Amino acid sequence: MFLVGANRPPAPVNVSVMYLRADSATVSWEVPEGDIIIGFSISQQRMDGKMQRFIREVNTTSRSCVLWDLEEEMDYIIQVQSIGLYGESQASKRVHFRTLKKTDRFPSNSSNQDDPTVQGLDKARQLQTGEMIIIVVVLLMWAAVIALFCRQYDIIKDNDSSNSKEKAKPSSERSTPEHHNGGLLRSKFHQSVPSINIIEV
């Protein structure tokens, strides 16, 4: 038991809370060098004692964690423990923080770009923007295909109409000379027949 206790990692130091929101906050800490750390454990409790939550994560070298689903304008107390190969460390010093109102705005500065919550929102916005671009491109491609199809259909329709007119035109032209020639034949026939006079006695 003494050996196991001696091999336990030391407690985390410099525990701090940053990037406060109405419903989230980011906890960060440091671990003394020379110890093998494979995870962490966070104890989160409301000041009124009505709720307590434990967060445990292993197989990670992270030194920060985002606390979600917090209540606005609520006081919380957190403690962090390091997880080593032979167990957990002692709990760190208690750290108190209070969440903001939903109407409060977090001061804008360059360090906000490192906030995991901000990064998550930026990634979600990028995904939504990429999806919208893909949808618009697909719709434009479909519109171009439909327009091309309609244009080809109109061209084919016009060609068919022109061909039908060309076929109908020679037949009408041929009917006129036949009628004219027929009339000439009839007139010649009448001229060639001799006239016969019948005289009654």
What's the half-sphere exposure (Cβ side, CA atoms, 13 Å) at 139?
Answer: 6
Averaged pLDDT, 12-18: 96
Q: What is the pLDDT of residue 21?
A: 95
Residues in the chain: 201
Q: Using DSSP, state whether 17 is helix, strand or coil.
A: strand
pTM: 0.52
DSSP code of 24? -
Q: Using DSSP, state whether 36 is helix, strand or coil.
A: coil
For residue range 21-74, what is the model confidence (pLDDT) as tens digits? Answer: 999 999 999 998 888 899 999 999 999 988 899 999 999 999 999 999 999 999
Q: What residue type is assigned to position 189 of the chain?
A: F
For residue range 128-180, what is the model confidence (pLDDT) as tens digits? Answer: 677 788 898 899 998 999 988 888 888 887 777 777 766 665 554 544 454 44
Which of the four pLDDT bands, split at 50, 70 and 90, describes residue 108?
Answer: very low
Q: Which long-range contacts (CB under 8 A, 24 or more apart) does 101-104 make?
A: 101/22, 101/72, 101/73, 102/22, 102/23, 102/72, 104/22
Q: What is the pLDDT of residue 184?
A: 44
Query: Token pair for residue 190?
Result: 């009448």
